């Protein structure tokens, strides 16, 4: 049976069998709902939102049926009639093994017993600071409550720092009695605490998305044997496409001497106990903030406890084992435990003590916990009610046989430190209470103690509410006091010192009704992101500085919410969310994705009674720790763990113990009783709208728990989601997946540091780069997609009315031909529509400026728009004529200026609004831009007047009578034009009809091309989808290996007379490499070069692809420019990277950069750095030194018009000019398409470039496919951003050498 189990599990047969049944059960119904979604992967993924209530029972039925069949297989099957049962047995034996392991075998070790999640571990509670007195508490919180400041409190001892460390192969291999005080650790290493030992050079990190990194044998988790993969999938093209079902196999018979069965970290350190800490009945507790995955703790050789749950604190009372002076603490940490089965999140498997270790002192009668509940004022500005439930604990000892008389007091202080409320209890107000319940600690003996509680209510006058926009915080202080004793002096007892606790609180409410999530009675849109605790150097050991950096970036990019995916984050993070203003979805540390069917989790463990307490413990202890945070507006039961009795028990506990917050849980499907919010994962916009409207009796809102998978160059079509969020009130936003690329620092063979992903450490199994899906790099540098998100989530938007010929078309992207002419528009009395999307604040803290910008780059007119009176959540209309200039007059005026050639619009002009913060805030400096909007304005009916003074660029003023032509053998044609412009053409070979090189004044500017290009270096999204991915289909069609088949010899004709131009034309077919031309689908191309006597090259490409080819990635031209042409100027969208489906945030304008900075260093290289809708592109031999922007005041021109003007160099550059009415997608960078495709890491790109010729690689595309991003495992670029084959494409451009002080825009104007 073990051999059958090994065989079946190693080949993934169980998962495939269950998946087959599930998909057969659900695909028909789903396809009937939406015939357009024929991708089986999409069907598989979407059943979680569509019909999941019937799918989950099907999966459970398959598991149960299989177990039943397996139990009926004969012990010695050998007859032919038993063959079918043998096959079923071989396929499904693993499932029966699951059940028998979980139900019939009792594991002796705590870390292999799901019923034990702790021993002697204190019940969950809010963070306790043990302040010495009220002033200390107020000072601590007034200074921000920094985690580093906590260690300086007099009643706290921080045990972070260097610990002695030894890594054993397994728990049984740990040094005997290493936890004793006299054990010699002189030969041990030292390790930093907090840290993950894999990031300190011990063992190795392992990254998996959903597969467990150990053979499934619950509750045991051991890495015995060897892992291998039948699909050697990596990020590079040499390794294959990205795969989520990589075919990992496990062979337990092969022994791997380098693989540790269950790495076990042995930690030790000494500490000096402060004097007096154990006197007068005081209690001392040790708190481990986070240990992965299970551990025992000893103090002075005495075991004080055991704990699981790697993302929540474990606290033990160590009072009785302490001694004066030097003490020793030891911990034995197991990397794998039964708890690991509940922690199968999509992130790195890292181990060790990764959060702070502290000792703290409490008085004999102490506050063990307190809970805060706030109620809103009945009317705005009225008093608010704050209820505080305080728990008081006192140990029963030989000196304390009766409870001490005690009273408790609660005080509230405002943000200025002024006391505004105070309530003191009477001794009789303290009622007896049951001990706080612990879960999964069945063998603990209750420590004798007195437990009492008091409920105090306070009234806060003129209450100010907390929200993400206005995160106003009060400080709550609670303390114990002992009344003055009376009676006989001899009967008096010494009065214990006061125990003081404090935290910051916010007054706010959260509710669900009418298909909306309400905060303080106002519906809010969740502008959220999922966040892992991650540091590229230290793994899960994140610093306070890193957490603050995350919060500040989120605020600056207009996020208002964060989901702590998929576990409770470091407790300090919630303090920062309270302070700076972020709504939080706090998620329990629970995921069992490895028990999946069709990549989707089943509730297998959740339905096993022995695991029930572990489930409840993870939910209860999270709520007990975090419930006083105003920022937390919902609790999440975890992620991708199915929905069974375990989840229902968690939901029941949460609703009973905290009815003030809604519950969030995706894995149960949209209609699960375990969630108060419909929270689908990667649902398309149409699915969200359907879910929001299909059941009128369901009053839950739709909020996506994950959407727009940010893997590499991604996040396409985000604007569609945000149009839905802001137009459909029942779809209230969501959380982007995810915040940070989870790359870990590693060292390449060359010695260069790079960011590693799955497999880079030799970790098996692994899911390669699937952990690289953030919107910021590991060092928190934003991806370009962050600009798109910031734009779409901007707090104020602007529209101009009457612009379109048909207002009914206002929901789609406009073309210039759809705009009315200027004269008609002005006569319609247009209005500016301003929308304040803020829920709780007006616009009086923001400043909005406006600007009329010409496509020449000139700032024609500008001013300030006073919007301070616009209240929250309001829309107002402002008449254009009252606030902005007369555009008819302005268009005529600019054409008459002396500098009109530089300033007058050529084809377009734009209105820009930019909104900035007036004054410095906690999270940004004054002047920080929170919103911008650019609107294309109507043009005059006859176009813009031609400038009255139009000079001719110097490079166009020199002419010769004829273009001189020379042949250089049979293969090359040399062409000589005016002013030293020269070029050569290929007359044969694979590059026939294209330019060999082009130069001017003795300097090369082109070193190859332009030549046709229909391929791009695949992005992660291109690879996603297994055999039906875009990349797989492109490669199957040979689009990545097109070769030129010559249809005709180039024709060379020259015009007689004064024009003297030269035409070189060639027709060719590009077919897959290695194929015969006949009968093979290909792309037909005609290239025509018209060379003028002044050196201008007018290039025209006409291409037609066979209908049998799949949609292709690009239609364009590629060229190699001189390595000296590093400075880049262009007019088009920018300044950041943008593509056809991700360009809403990129404004039209004159932008400058360089070939280095235009490259976006995605961790897995691929297509990047594109700029959309470009009219002209210039490359020069100097860095741009822009002067001040041009501004027109009256009839005077002030400063320089464009960023392409600056220090002039005599060496020539190159201009690429696109014809009027057309635009192109362009990219300029130092890396070739081939290097981008073949490299799996950024450092390999740099190594390839150092071996190359150093040329600058330029792409000019007529069409370029979108990047997609609805997810990264199905081909999901929206149809309008695909490039279907079967039609004719035409790309025209002009190439011109830029010499002397030629102005690129003036040159472009003359070439139109």
Count of beta carbons in the 10 Å neighbourhood of residue 920: 11
CB 302 within 8 A of CB 296: no
CB 995 within 8 A of CB 1008: yes
User: What is the DSSP track for 335-356?
Assistant: S--GGGGGB--SEEE--EE-S-
CA angle, 1241 then 1242 then 1245, to 5°: 100
What does the DSSP 8-state code read for residue 465?
Answer: B
No. of helices (H) and no. of strands (E), the chain: 24, 67
Concerning whether 640 is annotated as a catalytic residue, the answer is: yes
CA angle, 243 then 246 then 247, to 5°: 155
Torsion of CA 559, 561, 566, 569, to 10 degrees: 100
Catalytic residue among 640, 1007, 1242, 1246: 640
- Biggest CA-to-CA distance, the chain: 128
By the 10 Å C-beta count (0-12 exposed, 13-18 middle, 19+ buried), 310 is classed as: buried
Tell me: cis bond preceding 1257? Omega within 30 of 0 counts: no
C-alpha closest to that of 832 among 917, 727, 913: 913
User: What is the DSSP track for 1135-1202?
Assistant: SS--BTTB-TTPEEEEEEEETTTTS---SS--S---EEEESEEEEESS-----PPPEEETTEEES-S-
What separation, in Å, do the N-terminal and C-terminal C-alpha atoms of the chain show? 78
Catalytic residue among 315, 363, 579, 706: 706
Q: At 819, is the secondary structure helix, strand, or coil?
A: strand
d(Cα 767, Cα 759) in Å, to the nearest integer?
Answer: 8
CB 307 within 8 A of CB 328: no
Q: What Rg, from alpha-carbon coordinates, does the chain have?
A: 35
Cβ contacts of residue 1242 below 8 Å, gap of 6+?
754, 755, 1161, 1162, 1163, 1165
The per-residue b/e assignment along 194-205, b for 16 or more CB within 10 angstroms, e otherwise, is bbbbbbbebbbb
d(Cα 1231, Cα 1242) in Å, to the nearest integer?
Answer: 11
Count of beta carbons in the 10 Å neighbourhood of residue 426: 10
By the 10 Å C-beta count (0-12 exposed, 13-18 middle, 19+ buried), 737 is classed as: buried
CB 437 within 8 A of CB 123: yes
CB 1051 within 8 A of CB 1066: yes
C-alpha closest to that of 544 among 266, 66, 194: 194
Concerning whether 501 is annotated as a catalytic residue, the answer is: no
SS (H, E, C) 880-902: HHHHCCCHHHHHHHHCCCCCHHH
443: which 2 tokens? 């063998």
d(Cα 729, Cα 1207) in Å, to the nearest integer?
Answer: 53
C-alpha closest to that of 1033 among 1022, 1044, 1020: 1022
Pairing of strands 1042-1046, 1062-1072: antiparallel
- Which residue is it, tokens 């500490």? 271
C-alpha closest to that of 1176 among 1236, 1232, 1134, 1229: 1134
What does the DSSP 8-state code read for residue 782?
Answer: B
Q: Which residues does the annotation mark as catalytic?
A: 640, 706
């Amino acid at each position: 049976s073990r051999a059958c189990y090994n065989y079946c599990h190693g080949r993934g047969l169980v998962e495939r069998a269950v998946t087959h049944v599930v998909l057969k059960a659900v695909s028909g119904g789903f396809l009937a709902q939406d015939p357009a979604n024929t991708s089986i992967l999409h069907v598989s993924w979407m059943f979680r939102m569509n019909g999941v209530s019937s799918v989950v029972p099907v999966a459970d039925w398959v598991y149960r049926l299989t177990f039943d069949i397996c139990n009926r297989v004969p012990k010695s099957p050998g007859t032919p009639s038993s063959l079918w049962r043998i096959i079923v047995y071989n396929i499904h034996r693993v499932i029966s093994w699951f059940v028998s392991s979980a139900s019939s075998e009792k594991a002796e070790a705590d870390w292999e017993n799901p019923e034990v999640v702790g021993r002697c571990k204190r019940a969950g509670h809010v963070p306790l600071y043990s302040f010495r007195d009220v002033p200390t508490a107020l000072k601590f919180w007034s200074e921000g409550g920094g985690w580093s400041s906590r260690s300086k409190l007099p009643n706290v001892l921080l045990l972070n720092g260097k610990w002695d460390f030894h890594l054993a192969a397994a728990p049984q291999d740990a040094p005997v009695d290493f936890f004793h005080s006299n054990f010699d650790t002189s030969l041990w290493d030292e390790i930093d605490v907090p840290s993950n030992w894999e990031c300190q050079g011990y063992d190795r990190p392992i990254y998996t998305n959903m597969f467990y990194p150990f053979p499934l044998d619950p509750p045991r988790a051991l890495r015995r044997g060897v892992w291998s993969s039948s699909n050697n999938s990596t990020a590079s093209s040499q390794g294959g496409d990205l795969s989520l079902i990589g075919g990992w196999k496990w062979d337990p018979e092969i022994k791997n001497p380098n693989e540790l069965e269950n790495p076990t970290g042995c930690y030790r350190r000494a500490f000096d106990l402060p004097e007096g800490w154990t006197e007068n009945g005081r209690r001392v507790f040790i708190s481990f903030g986070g240990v992965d995955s299970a551990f025992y703790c000893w103090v002075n050789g005495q075991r004080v406890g055991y704990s699981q749950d790697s993302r929540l604190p474990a606290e033990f009372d160590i009072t009785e084992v302490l001694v004066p002076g030097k003490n020793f603490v030891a911990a034995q940490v197991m990397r794998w435990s039964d708890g690991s089965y509940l922690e199968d999140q999509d992130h790195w498997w890292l181990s060790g003590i990764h959060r702070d270790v502290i000792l703290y002192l409490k008085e004999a009668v102490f506050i063990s916990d307190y809970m805060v509940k706030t109620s809103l004022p009945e009317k705005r500005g009225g008093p608010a009610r704050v209820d505080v439930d305080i728990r008081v604990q006192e140990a029963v000892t030989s000196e304390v046989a009766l409870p001490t008389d005690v009273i408790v007091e609660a005080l509230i202080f405002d943000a200025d430190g002024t006391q505004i409320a105070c309530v003191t209890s009477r001794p009789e107000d303290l009622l007896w209470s049951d001990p706080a319940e612990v879960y999964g600690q069945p063998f603990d003996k209750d420590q004798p103690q007195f437990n009492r509680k008091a409920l105090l209510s306070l009234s806060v006058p003129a209450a100010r509410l907390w929200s993400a926009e206005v995160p106003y915080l009060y400080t709550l202080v609670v303390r114990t006091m002992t009344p003055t004793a009376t009676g006989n002096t001899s009967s008096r007892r010494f009065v214990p010192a006061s125990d003081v606790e404090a935290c910051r609180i916010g007054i706010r409410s959260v509710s669900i009704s009418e298909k909306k999530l309400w905060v303080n009675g106002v519906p809010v849109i969740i502008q959220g992101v999922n966040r892992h605790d991650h540091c590229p150097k230290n793994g899960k050991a994140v610093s306070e500085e890193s957490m603050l950096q995350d919060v500040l970036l989120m605020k600056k990019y207009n996020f208002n919410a964060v989901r702590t995916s998929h576990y409770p984050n470091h407790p300090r993070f919630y303090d920062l969310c309270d302070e700076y203003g972020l709504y939080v979805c706090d998620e329990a540390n629970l995921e069992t994705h490895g028990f999946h069917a069709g990549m989707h989790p089943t509730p297998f463990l959740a339905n096993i009674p022995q695991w029930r307490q572990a489930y409840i413990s993870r939910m209860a202890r999270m709520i007990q720790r975090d419930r006083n945070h105003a920022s937390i507006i919902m609790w999440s039961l975890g992620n991708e763990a199915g929905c069974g009795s375990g989840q229902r028990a968690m939901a029941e506990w949460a609703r009973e113990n905290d009815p003030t917050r809604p519950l969030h849980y995706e894995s149960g499907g949209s209609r699960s009783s375990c969630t108060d919010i419909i929270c689908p994962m990667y649902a398309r916009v149409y699915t969200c709208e359907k879910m929001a409207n299909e059941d009128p009796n369901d009053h839950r809102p739709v909020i996506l728990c994950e959407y727009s998978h940010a893997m590499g160059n991604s996040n396409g079509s985000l604007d569609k989601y945000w149009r839905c969020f802001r137009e459909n009130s029942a779809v209230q936003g969501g959380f982007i997946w995810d915040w940070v690329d989870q790359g870990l620092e590693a060292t390449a063979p060359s010695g260069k540091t790079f960011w590693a992903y799955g497999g880079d450490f030799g970790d098996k199994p692994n899911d390669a780069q699937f952990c690289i899906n953030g919107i910021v790099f590991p060092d928190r540098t934003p991806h370009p997609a962050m600009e798109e998100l910031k734009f779409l989530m901007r707090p104020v938007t602007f529209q101009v009315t009457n612009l379109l010929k048909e207002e009914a078309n206002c929901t789609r992207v406009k073309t210039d031909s759809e705009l009315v002419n200027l004269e008609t528009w002005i006569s319609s009395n247009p209005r500016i529509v301003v929308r304040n999307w803020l829920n709780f604040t007006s616009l009086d803290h923001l400043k909005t400026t406006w600007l009329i910008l010409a496509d020449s780059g000139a700032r024609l007119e500008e001013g300030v728009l006073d919007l301070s009176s616009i209240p929250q959540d309001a829309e107002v209309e402002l008449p254009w004529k009252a606030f902005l200039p007369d555009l008819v007059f302005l268009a005529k005026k600019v054409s008459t200026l002396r500098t009109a050639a530089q300033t007058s619009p050529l084809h377009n002009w734009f209105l820009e609004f930019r909104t900035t913060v007036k004054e410095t805030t906690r999270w940004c400096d004054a002047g920080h831009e929170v919103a911008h909007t650019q609107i294309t304005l109507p043009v005059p009916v006859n176009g813009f007047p031609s400038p009255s003074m139009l000079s001719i660029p110097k490079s166009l003023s020199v002419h010769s009578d004829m273009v001189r032509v020379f042949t250089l053998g049979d293969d090359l044609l040399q062409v000589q034009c005016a002013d030293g412009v020269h070029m050569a053409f290929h007359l044969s070979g694979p590059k026939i009809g294209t330019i060999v090189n082009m130069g001017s004044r003795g300097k090369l500017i082109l070193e190859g091309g332009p030549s046709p290009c229909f391929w791009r270096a695949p992005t992660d999204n291109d690879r996603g989808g297994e055999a039906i991915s875009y990349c797989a289909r492109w490669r199957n069609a040979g689009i990545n290996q097109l070769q030129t088949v010559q249809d005709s010899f180039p024709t060379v004709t020259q015009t007689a007379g004064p024009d003297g131009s030269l035409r070189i034309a060639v027709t060719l077919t590009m077919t897959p490499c290695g194929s015969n031309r006949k009968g093979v689908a290909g792309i037909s191309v005609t290239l025509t070069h018209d060379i003028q006597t002044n050196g201008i090259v007018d290039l025209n490409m006409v291409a037609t692809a066979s209908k049998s080819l799949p949609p292709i990635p690009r239609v364009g031209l590629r060229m190699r420019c001189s390595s000296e042409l590093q400075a880049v100027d262009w007019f088009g969208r920018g300044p950041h990277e943008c593509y056809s489906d991700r360009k809403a945030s990129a404004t039209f304008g004159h932008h400058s950069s360089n070939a280095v900075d235009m490259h976006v260093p995605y961790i897995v290289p691929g297509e990047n750095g594109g700029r959309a809708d470009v009219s002209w592109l210039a490359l020069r031999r100097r860095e741009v030194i822009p002067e001040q922007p041009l501004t027109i005041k009256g009839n005077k021109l002030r400063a320089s018009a464009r960023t392409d003007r600056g220090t002039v160099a005599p060496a020539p550059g190159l201009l690429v000019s696109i014809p009027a009415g057309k635009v192109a997608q362009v990219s300029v960078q130092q890396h070739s398409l081939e290097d981008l495709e073949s490299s799996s890491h950024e450092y390999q790109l740099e190594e390839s470039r150092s071996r190359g010729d150093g040329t600058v690689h330029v792409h000019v595309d007529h069409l370029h496919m979108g990047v997609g991003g609805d997810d990264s495992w199905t081909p999901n670029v929206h149809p309008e951003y695909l490039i279907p084959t079967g039609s004719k494409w035409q790309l025209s451009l002009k190439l011109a050498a830029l010499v002397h002080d030629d102005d690129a825009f003036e040159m472009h104007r003359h070439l139109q």
